[in-house]
């Protein structure tokens, strides 16, 4: 698995967990390394991520304690006021499942005129991203450590997001686990809810069959239109850096699909 993302997914699952997980025993609260009193990460029974007790470095643990109160947005089941949270009105980009935050913080660094929100459930990735936020002084970046589906359906205001990024989500490749894939109707419902008119949904995967799955779901949803033509992949945009995970996949002969759709 790549160094720049804790799993293939940035929406957060471990590949090894996919062999053993069961709907009845997947944790719905923060892992033990988060300590007591943390909010539940989801109320859904079937989810696209599995939380396992993982290790965080001392620096990541320090970042969680010291920086998350400033750069974190506590989950709310009611829409929040983005202008209040950022202290300004600006176009907002949302990355779902940012892994270690390499792309998330790169976008924030390259586009200071935009607000950037990242959603990730894994503590090590959140801590890593917080350290980058501090180092690069990204005061217009915020992190939500919660289930992305609930964030899309409840927390973010309707038609408040300019672009949603879903880069290299876990493919849940075994057929019995396809129900856990994040790209489903309820995900597209949530994305459509938060996107502004003509807003962009950008998905990327190096798992060919999952790419076909994404295309099928998006092409069958009349609310979205492929920006280069029906069922077609786009070239990797210049703003999206080549991740170490992606480079490794290319060395192994994996083709990467960038699928970019706009809300219509």
Dihedral, 188, 189, 193, 195 alpha carbons, nearest 10: 10
Q: How far apart are the first and last CA of the chain?
A: 36
Cα separation of 17 and 51, whole Å? 9
* Confidence (pLDDT) at 40: 52
* Catalytic-residue membership of 62: no
Q: From the candidates 4, 102, 147, 170, give the one annotated as an active-site residue.
A: 170
Cα separation of 207 and 163, whole Å? 23
* Confidence (pLDDT) at 51: 59
* Confidence (pLDDT) at 180: 85
Lay out the sheet containing 161-167: strands in order across.
Answer: 141-144, 115-119, 92-96, 161-167, 195-205, 257-263, 224-226
* Confidence (pLDDT) at 193: 98
* Confidence (pLDDT) at 52: 58
Question: Which residue in 72, 76, 78, 261 sits closest to 163, CA to CA?
Answer: 261
For the chain, which residues score pLDDT lower than 50? 1-39, 44-45, 47
Residues sharing a CB contact under 8 Å with residue 15, sequence separation 6 or more, in sequence order: 1, 7, 8, 170
Q: Which CATH superfamily is domain 16-263 in?
A: Vaccinia Virus protein VP39 (3.40.50.150)
* Confidence (pLDDT) at 13: 34
């Amino acid at each position: 698995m790549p160094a720049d993302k804790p799993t293939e997914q940035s929406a957060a699952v471990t590949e090894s967990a996919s062999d053993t997980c069961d709907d009845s025993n997947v944790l719905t609260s923060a892992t033990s390394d988060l300590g007591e009193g943390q909010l539940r990460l989801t109320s859904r029974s079937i989810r696209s991520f599995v939380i396992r007790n993982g290790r965080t470095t001392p620096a990541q643990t320090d970042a969680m304690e010291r920086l998350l109160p400033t750069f974190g947005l506590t989950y709310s089941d009611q829409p929040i006021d983005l202008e209040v949270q950022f202290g300004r009105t600006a176009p907002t980009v949302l990355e779902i499942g940012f892994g270690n935050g390499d792309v998330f913080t790169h976008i924030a660094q390259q586009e200071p005129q935009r607000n950037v929100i990242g959603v990730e459930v894994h503590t090590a990735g959140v801590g890593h991203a917080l350290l980058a936020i501090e180092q690069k002084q990204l005061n217009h970046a915020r992190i939500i450590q919660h289930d992305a589906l609930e964030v899309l359906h409840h927390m973010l205001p309707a038609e408040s997001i300019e672009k949603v990024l879903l880069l290299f989500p876990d493919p849940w490749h075994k057929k019995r686990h396809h129900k856990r894939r994040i790209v489903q109707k309820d995900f597209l419902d949530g994305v459509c809810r938060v996107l502004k008119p003509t807003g962009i949904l950008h998905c990327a995967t190096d798992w060919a069959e999952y790419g076909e799955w994404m295309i099928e779901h998006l092409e069958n949803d009349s609310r979205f239109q492929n920006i280069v033509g029906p069922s077609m992949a786009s070239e990797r945009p210049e703003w999206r850096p080549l991740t170490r995970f992606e480079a490794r996949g290319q060395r192994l002969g994996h083709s990467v699909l960038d699928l970019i759709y706009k809300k219509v």
